[in-house]
Structure 1
Amino acid sequence: MKSLHLNMYKKINYITAVLVLLASISVNAQVTTQSPYSKYGIGNLKGVLLPQFRAMGGISTAVNKPTGYNNINIQNPASYAGITSTTIDVGVAGTFTNLKKDGASENSFNGTLSHLALAFPVNQHSAVSFGILPYSELGYNFSNRQTVTGTPGNPSTSDVNNVYSGEGGLSKAYIGYGYRFGDHFRIGANMEYLFGNLIENRGVEFVNDPGAFATRLQNKNSIGGISFSYGAQYDVRLTSKMLLTFGYSGSSASTINSTRTFMASKYLYDGNTGEGNVTVETVDSIGSGKSNLKLPLIHNFGIALQKDNKWLIGADFRTGKWSSYAINGVNQGLQNSQGVSVGGQITPDITSINSYFKRVDYRLGFSYDKTYINISDQDVKQMAISFGLGLPLANSQTRGTFYKMNFTTELGRRGTMQSGTLQENYISVHLGFTLNDTWFKRFKFD
C-alpha cells in the first residue's frame, strides 16, 4: 500500500509539473498564423484531431482502437468508451507557409502547443476525457495602395495605404464521457468551453505626407461560452479479427457570448521606413458592447475497416452549415462547407521482437474541403496529403505501461492562383506523445 501511494504521489506531481509548464508557455508565447484567409469567419479552423488521426487524412469518426493501445479521439466522444487505461496525450505543432499572388511570394513559420488531453476509464463500460486545444487561429497583415485625387480647387493626388491586420484565435476546453452498450454500440458527448480574443484592425496611412497622422480602427471580440458535441459508433464483427465500424459525430448549433470593444486611434507613419506602430492618441473607445456568435450545426459521418493489430482503412465525410454563422444576429456571408478524408495505417508485426520497425504504425491519408469562404464567386478549396509514424517507446509489461510518439506531416494548399486570388501552400508538422498506464490499480509486488 505504501508503494502504491508513493507511485501515485509521483504521478500526480508529474502531471502538475506538466500542466504548470504548459500554462506558463501558453501565457508567454504569442501564437499567430500568417494566413489572409483567416480574416473570414472565426479564423482558420484547427479541428480537434490529434497527430495520429491527422496522419490518416483526418479520418476519426469511425475509429476506435486500431491497435492494442488507447487513443483519445476527441472528434467522436463515443470512442472514449473503448479506453481501458489512463491515457495522456500532449503535443506541439509548427507550420511553414508560402503565400503567392500576382508573381509575389512570402514565407513564414509559426509554432504552438497543439493539445493536452487526458482520459481514464470509469468502469468496464465507460470512460471520461478532458483537455484543451486550439479551435481556430486568426493572423494576417496585408495592405493595398490607392491614389486619391483632391478637390477641383486642389487637384493634387496622394498615395494612401489601406492596412488590414488581425490576430488572436479561439481555444477549446472540453470534458466528455463515453458509454458502451453490449459489445458493439457506443455513444458519447463533450461539453466544451470556447474562449479567446479575435482582434481586427483597419488603418489608413498617407504615404506622401509625413506630417499627416495615420488612423486605425480596432474591433476586438472577447469570446467565452459553452457548446456541445456528440457521437455514436457501431461495430460489425466480420471475422474473429476483422471489424467494420460505422460512426457519426456532430456539433450542435450554439450561441456563444462575446464582448465587443471598438477603438479609434491616431499614429505616426514613416513613409521612408514603412513603420507606423506608435500610437499618438486614442480618439475614441467604446467597450462592454454585449454581443453573441451563432455557431453552425456540423455533421461528420465515417466508416472504417480494420484487421485487429494489423491495419485500418477508412473514410470520413463532413458538412457544416456556416451560412447560418452570425454575429449579434447579422449574417456574416459565409457558405456551407463540405469535406472528405480517406486514409489508414498499417503495423507490419506488432509483436515483433527482432525488428523495431515492424512494430511501427505507418500512416497515410488525403483530405479535400470546400471551405466556408467564397471570394468573387469562387469557392476557396483546401486539399492536403498527410503521412506519419507511430513510434513505440519503452514500456513496462508488468505494469501495463505503454508509450508512443506520433509524428505527422501535412502538405497542403488553400486557394488557387486563378483570377488573381491568393494561393497558400503549407507544410504542417505535428508531434504528439501518448502514454497508457494502469493507474489507481493495486499491485501485490512493485
Structure 2
Amino acid sequence: MIRYIKATIIFLLTTVTYTVSAQSTSTTSSPYSKYGIGDIIPSVLPQNVAMGGIATATNSINGFSIINPLNPASYSKITLTAIDVGLYSKINTLSKVGQTDQTNTSFRLNHIAFGIPVSKRSALSFGLLPYSELGYSYRQVLNSGFGTGLPADTNAVNYIYSGDGGLSKLYLGYGFGIGSHLSIGANASYIFGNLKQSQSTEIPVYGNLNSRIEESNSVGGLNYDYGIQYSVDFSLRKHLTFGYSASANTKLNNQNSYIVSSYFTDAGGNEGVPTDSIINRQNAKTKIQLPQINHFGISFQDEGKYLVGADYTMGKWSNLTIGGENQGLRDSKTFNIGGQFTPNINAINGYFSRVDYRLGVILDDTYIHANNTDIKSYAATFGVGLPLRPNNRSYYKINISAEIGKRGTIANQLVKESFVNLHVSFTLNDKWFERYKFD
C-alpha cells in the first residue's frame, strides 16, 4: 500500500507543478527581460542559491542527497530517493531619474525535481524547472519636434512597451560514477512556453492614427546538458571536487506571429478597434538558436562541518538568434562564490547546532548592452537548511534562501533594479522502491 501512496504523491505534485509552470503569465516585472528570450534562470535549487549559486562542483552535502540539475554528473552521489519542491517570490523596485520608484511583487510555485538511485553509483533525475521569464510594461515620452502651439501637446509621442510569458524546462537526466573519483552525467530537456511582446506608438491628440507592433513566439524543442566531476579524497570526510558542465547550443522549434496594425483613440484616450493590419504573419515556423553555456567549478568539503566553493560561467549569448536574426546580445560572465557551515551535525540537544548556515555572492556581467552601457548585476545570498526530525528511513529538510542585489544603473536614462528574491523548498531523502517480503 505504501508504494501506491508514494506513486500518487508523485503524480499529484508533478501535475500541480506542470499546470502552474506551463502558464504563459510571467512572474517578473523587469524592463531588462525584453532582451533575448527573457531573463534566464539558472538550474540551481534553493540550497545552492543560498551559497551564491555554486553548483558545478557540488553533489552530496553532509551525506544528504541533493538534486543538482546544473551538473548532471552530481546524480552519481544520490544514494536515497530525493524529492525537492520549491516556491519562489520576488520583490523588485525600479528606479529611474525623474520618476517615482515602482515596486512589484510576484510569487510562483517554482520547481519540482526527483532523484532516484539506479545502482550504488548511479541515479536518474527528472523534473520541471523554470528556464526564462519575460515581463515588463513601461512608457517613454519623446518630443517629435512638430505641432508646437496647437491646443494639445503634439510634440509628445508616447512609445509603450510590454511583454509577458516565459519558458519552462522539463528534464530527464542520468549520472554515473567511474571508479572512486570520476562522475559523468547528462540531461535531455524539453524547453517550451510562449513569449509575447508589443510596441505601440501613440500621439496623444484626438484624431491621430496610432500604430502597434505585436510579436509572439510559441517555443518547443530539445536541449542537452552534460557534465563531469572529479574528486580528490584527502580522508573519509575531506574532499576536493572539480566540476565542468555545459548547455549545448541547440535549436528550438518556434512558431512566430507578427502583426502591425493601426488604430485611433477617442477624446478620452480609449483605444478603438484596429482599422487596418499593415502586416499580418501568423504561425510562421522558425528556429531559436540557443548559445553554448559553460560552467567551471571547484569546491572543498569537510563532511559534517563545512563546504566552500566557486563557479565561473561563460555564456555565448552573442550567438543567440530568433528566426535567423541575431538578437544583438553580448557574451556573459558570472562569478559565484559561497559555502555553508554546520556547527555540530550530530548534536543531540541544541537544534540550531544541526542547522546548515549558508552565505555567498554573485557577480554577473550580463549579456545586455543598452544605451552604450554594459548592464551588470550584483547580489549577496544567504539562507539556512532546517533539518526535521528523521526516522530510521527518511530525512527531511526545509531550505530557505534569499538573494539581495541590484541590476543596472540610473545613468544614461537607464533603470536600476533593487531586488529581493526569496526561495523556499522542501527536500526529502527516503528509501523508496525497495522490494519487501510483506506489504
What's the TM-score, normalizing by structure 1?
Answer: 0.92
SS for the counterpart of 1:430 is strand
Q: Is 2:435 the partner of 1:442? A: yes
- Aligned equivalents of 2:261, 2:371: Cα separation in 1: 32
1:377 matched residue in structure 2: 372
- The within-5 A match list for 1:36-185 is 36-104=31-99, 105-149=101-145, 158=154, 159-185=156-182
Paired amino acid for 1:179: F
Paired amino acid for 2:292: L
- The within-5 A match list for 1:392-403 is 392-397=387-392, 400-403=393-396
1:232 matched residue in structure 2: 228
SS for the counterpart of 1:13 is helix
Change in CA separation of 1:62 and 1:48 when aligned onto 2, cut-off 3 Å? same
SS for the counterpart of 1:49 is coil
Deviation of 1:266 (Å)? 4.5
SS for the counterpart of 1:63 is coil
- Aligned equivalents of 1:378, 1:405: Cα separation in 2: 40
1:331 matched residue in structure 2: 326
Deviation of 1:31 (Å)? 3.0
Deviation of 1:239 (Å)? 2.5
- Aligned equivalents of 1:81, 1:438: Cα separation in 2: 16
- The within-5 A match list for 1:211-290 is 211-212=207-208, 214-267=210-263, 269=265, 276=271, 279-280=273-274, 283=277, 285-290=280-285
Deviation of 1:396 (Å)? 1.4
Decide whether the 8 Å contact of 2:186 with 2:227 is kept in 1.
yes
SS for the counterpart of 1:113 is strand
Q: Is 2:310 the partner of 1:315? A: yes
Change in CA separation of 1:334 and 1:445 when aligned onto 2, cut-off 3 Å? same
Question: Could you give the per-residue CA deviations for residues 214-266 of structure 1, whole angstroms, max 9, x where no partner exists?
Answer: 43221111111111110000110112321100000111111111111012345
- Aligned equivalents of 1:242, 1:279: Cα separation in 2: 69
Paired amino acid for 2:82: T
Alignment size in residue pairs: 435
Deviation of 1:445 (Å)? 7.6
- Aligned equivalents of 2:15, 2:383: Cα separation in 1: 29
2:409 matched residue in structure 1: 416
Deviation of 1:44 (Å)? 0.8
Q: Which runs of 5+ in 2 are unaligned?
A: none
Match of 2:338 among 338, 343, 349: 343
Q: Which runs of 5+ in 1 are unaligned?
A: 1-5
Deviation of 1:376 (Å)? 2.9
**What is the percentage of aligned positions where both structures have the same residue?**
43
Deviation of 1:25 (Å)? 3.8
Deviation of 1:157 (Å)? 6.1
Paired amino acid for 1:235: S
- Aligned equivalents of 2:326, 2:214: Cα separation in 1: 20
Paired amino acid for 2:130: P
Question: Could you give the per-residue CA deviations for residues 5-50 of structure 1, whole angstroms, max 9, x where no partner exists?
Answer: x110111122222233334444678333110000111111111010
- Aligned equivalents of 2:373, 2:19: Cα separation in 1: 42
- Aligned equivalents of 2:179, 2:304: Cα separation in 1: 22
Question: Could you give the per-residue CA deviations for residues 65-109 of structure 1, whole angstroms, max 9, x where no partner exists?
Answer: 121211000100000011011111111100000011104211101
- Aligned equivalents of 1:83, 1:333: Cα separation in 2: 41
2:198 matched residue in structure 1: 201
Paired amino acid for 2:164: E
Deviation of 1:419 (Å)? 2.8
- Aligned equivalents of 1:255, 1:38: Cα separation in 2: 21
Change in CA separation of 1:295 and 1:307 when aligned onto 2, cut-off 3 Å? same
